[in-house]
Structure 1
Amino acid sequence: MDRLFHALADTTRRDILRRCVRGELSVSRLAEAYPMSFAAVQKHVTVLERAGLVTKRRRGREQLVRTDPDAVDGARRALDELETAWRARVDRMSGLLADDPGTGPGTDPGPGTDPGAGPGTRETTEGQDR
């Protein structure tokens, strides 16, 4: 997962994926599309390959790059699972907050609370020498 997210974190790599999903492109052809060196594009392709998002094959002196649709689909499923898990957590937190009678607007924070202490901070004055 770390390699996958690292690979997808870069704009150029995401663009390479989009370009290569339509069909194989040589690394040199890809390099023409970016304001960087051939070696830099080659490094981006290597990161994508290590993450399993593209495959490379040799044809003569060229290296042809193709997006692996199954790997991209797997990445999408992984992101969907993360989204589902986080939405469930947010829903649970919302439910807990809705059930807590002390969290609504206009509720009295209770005795011993310093209004100047900031939200969520209780400063008890009982038993303190001033």
Structure 2
Amino acid sequence: MTQFLPALAGGLLIGASAVGLLYWLGRIAGISGILWGALSGAADNLWRWVFVAGLLGGAWLFHALSGVHYPAPSQLPMWQAILGGLVVGIGVKLGSGCTSGHGVCGIGRLSPRSIVATMLFMSTGIATVYLIRHIL
């Protein structure tokens, strides 16, 4: 039960921020698109930097106040983490969005494209974990 409460709180905060961003700015809370727009110097990028700062600051604040390292630090070698990040980044560009844009916001808006994209990346993730843990 104690692991359920942080997940519930996090989910509620993610949902509230997605709804707030859509309501106040008319923008979809797709993190990859927000970060890409901030880094590429989009004309309206102040809100993007504030959003990214809130993501990083919220995680830092949680760690600072609770003293809990959640999730646990990765045991992967650095090169594997970097390679995984690059593969995910390529997938995000090919899929025109990430789990937050398609999975959280797109499904909430009943977007057929987002529903298909979410089904594809979830099934690919499940298949990859199964392959690595049970076959390799």
Name the TM tier (shorter chain). Answer: under 0.3
Q: TM-score, normalised by structure 1?
A: 0.23
Q: TM-score, normalised by structure 2?
A: 0.22
Name whichever structure is richer in helix by fraction: 2
